[in-house]
Structure 1
Amino acid sequence: MKWLFVFVCFCASFSTSFGQHRSYSDIADSVYAALKKHEPGFLLPLLHDSCRISGLPKGMNAKMIPLLLDKYPAVQAYKIVTINKDTAGTRVQMEVMFETGKAAYPDFVLNQHWRITELNVVKSASFNRLANRILAAPDTIHLPLITIRQRLYVKAEADGRKGLFLLDTGSPDMILNRTFFNDSLQLVSASGTESINGVRGDGILTRRISGFTLGRMKLSNFSAFVMNEGIGGEAEGLPFLGSIGYNVLRDFEWRFDLPAGKLILVKTDDNGDYISQQYRLTSMKYMGPLEMRRHVPVAVITISDMPFRMGIDCSIGSNVFFARSKNELLPYMSQIDPATAAQEGVPANGIQGVLNKALIGTLEFSNMPASIEQGSFVYDNAEVAPLNGLLGTAFLGCYKTVINLKKKLICFW
């Protein structure tokens, strides 16, 4: 009998230490299995009778859990984010990844007896509403850049067609080359009464994309514009399939490393925070604010203490200043043709040269290719301060450059 008592005590002690070592992950496994398989049996035995489920009435576990799981979108992966002890117990926060590519953060609280006394899942899900646009992607994507005439291209595939896409942060959406996408076209509006992103729909063509693959990212079920006329040309044995605009990459922070020939996309949430905190930058040369002109990020540069509001557009090479800035800018440019600069206004082919020095905050940009061009009405808006020009790859190549659109930040490291 004494031996049996010692054995029971040993087992209880072992069970407690073993449970404390593994129960967090074991219980998280069960929560995840319930969400993934929509099976209440994985979850109900873990719940305390008075468990609070997402603020719903207590004491109804057997009724609530099957209903919640039935409406919860399918998940395909999870990890434990934090484990924090407080007066209510131990709160375990999970990160689950829906099959749509979106992340959610359910959490639960364990009491001292390893029962769940609080379960928060409702706020993590969008019930019965799968977005038309479906993104599936890891936390980071590393893309090799192909530079052609100072413009940045990436290899990608759209509906089974492989080729090159121009990176165009000056465009709101994807635009497809009609040479390769002449099927399943839709006319947005022949009358011009409809608009897309502020562009009147006079004969605008669109096409539904079932699947677009860029590195390890897959974007499904979305619309893209299609050029009215097709274009030819290829590079590295691949055809030019179109351009990628803001909406394709809006769920990521963009990290340009032009000297290394790569672009790193880091997934962010709706607030611009990283889905995985391990990708936070630890050292920077400078960080400053961005404005947003619709889909275009805007940085303020100073030239001899004069501010210039410049859109950032990686689809152009040289930095472009609009004609109204000519007189202020010319004294700070070199390698220009004096005869061209002396003309009234700005000629059709612009004024080419080098911008000697500019600053963003305290960070210096020296000897950047620049031109003065006839301005575009697209960037002249009486409701807000008009843009003075656009910064292209000549700007992005000066430093490693980070653009976080949702936080409205630009960083250099």
Structure 2
Amino acid sequence: MHQSIKIIITLFISARLFATEVSPPEAKPPIIFTKAEIVNASTTRIPFKVVDQLIIVEVELLNQEGNFIIDTGSESLILNGNHFKPTRKYRDDGKNKSGVHREIESIKEKYLDSLSFNRLSLKKLNADVIDLSHIEKAKKIRLLGIIGYSILKDFEVFIDMHLNQLTLTRIDKNGNKLSDKVYAETINDSIDFELKKHTIILEAFVGNKKVKFGLDTAAEYNQLNKKVDSEILDYFYPSKELKLTGASGKRKKVLAGKLYRVKLNDSIYFGPMKTVLTNLRKMNNAFGTNLDGILGFEFFAQKRTIINYKKKKLYFIKSPIIKP
């Protein structure tokens, strides 16, 4: 929800999970996933909850407990200005940051010494500070911030909607995992993607028409650009009008329905997905690209997906067949 801040959009570990030795209070990392589980020295598994189709993890941050949204559409780590103040010297250069839906204003900056995912640590981080209080009210959660690309890019990220868990495993500069023993499941398909700034771009098809989609974990609904070819719009079946509130707090009306016949290739295809018809002009201008739409929660609900930013690849793990 900031550089790609969307229709809406999470951090880690209780002290007893931390381990074998007691650390002095001052050594405690600023951000702790309160329910994380160690898989191995380079991998942490974090359970998440879904709130209005947003992936949210519980965290403790600078002595406060709350929630973070996991947002591949956001460029950076974002802290909620309703709970955190920027550091004394912060950037406030007057520039607006353009997101998927609108421009975000009043961005300030906070410095964090480190961010820890159980045994996984990142040092010397900057976080953007933005007032997200309107999202807290709309979602009825204590929202501490948003975890975006600047954090996720250093890990292979497995988003598993079947088990409601996020697995982060550290990768090297070439995208190779530091441990081979990470997933119990078998990868059964994969596809390459393009990375435009921090946005994952997928080539796909709607019917037989080629399209370009951005991939965004914090898009509550898929979005289809109202300017697309009429042959693509033929597969969009509208059903109602919705009022959506974005990260900036602005509301807009959109036509909502279902999009049919979406596939990435002949072996990776999707059932009908909840989709809204909207104008993506601002986002396309901001990123210098020309997207036909955004794939969000609906994508991840149908596909257990692994993202590797360094290799620019998505991997898919087969979902189990649920017997009635």
2:225 matches 1:325: no
Distance 1:302 1:218 in 2: 39
Q: CA deviation at 1:215?
A: 4.7
2:314 matches 1:410: yes
Amino acid in structure 2 at the alignment position of 1:270: K
Query: Within 5 Å, which residues of 2 pair with 1:337-356?
Result: 349-356=253-260
- Give TM-score, length-normalised by structure 1: 0.57
Q: Structure 1 runs of 4+ off > 6 angstroms?
A: 194-197, 234-238
Distance 2:221 2:277 in 1: 10
Aligned to 2:13: none
Q: CA deviation at 1:270?
A: 0.7
Q: Deviations over 1:124-152 (max 9, x none)?
A: xxxxxxxxxxxxx9321111111100011
Aligned to 2:8: none
| Alignment CA distance shift 1:266-1:323 (3 Å) | same
| Aligned CA-pair RMSD | 3.3
Q: Is the 8 A contact 1:254 1:404 kept in 2?
A: yes
Structure 1 residue runs of 5 or longer lacking an equivalent are: 1-136, 339-347
Q: Is the 8 A contact 1:172 1:295 kept in 2?
A: yes
Which of the numbers 375, 392, 397 marks the counterpart of 2:280? 375
Query: Within 5 Å, which residues of 2 pair with 1:222-237?
Result: 222-228=125-131, 230-231=133-134, 233=136
Larger radius of gyration: 1
Distance 1:185 1:328 in 2: 54
Amino acid in structure 2 at the alignment position of 1:372: L
Distance 1:369 1:337 in 2: 11
| Alignment CA distance shift 1:237-1:213 (3 Å) | farther
Q: Deviations over 1:301-326 (max 9, x none)?
A: 11122111111111112111112116
Aligned to 2:197: 294
Amino acid in structure 2 at the alignment position of 1:283: T
Q: CA deviation at 1:369?
A: 0.9
| Identity rate, percent | 23
2:73 matches 1:170: yes
Name the structure, 1 or 2, with higher relative contact order (CA <8 Å, separation 6+). Answer: 2
Q: Which has the higher helix share?
A: 1
Q: Deviations over 1:17-49 (max 9, x none)?
A: xxxxxxxxxxxxxxxxxxxxxxxxxxxxxxxxx
Amino acid in structure 2 at the alignment position of 1:407: K
Aligned to 2:59: 156
Q: Deviations over 1:232-275 (max 9, x none)?
A: 73899962101111111221111111021111112110110111
Aligned to 2:112: 209
Q: Is the 8 A contact 1:209 1:221 kept in 2?
A: yes
What is the number of equivalent residue pairs in this alignment? 265
Q: CA deviation at 1:158?
A: 2.4
Which of the numbers 280, 290, 293 marks the counterpart of 1:389? 293
Structure 2 residue runs of 5 or longer lacking an equivalent are: 1-39, 242-251, 318-324
2:90 matches 1:187: yes
Q: Deviations over 1:273-297 (max 9, x none)?
A: 1111233787333211110011111
Distance 1:191 1:320 in 2: 29
Distance 1:190 1:381 in 2: 18
Query: Within 5 Å, which residues of 2 pair with 1:213-362?
Result: 213-228=116-131, 230-231=133-134, 233=136, 239-279=142-182, 283-325=186-228, 327-336=230-239, 349-362=253-266
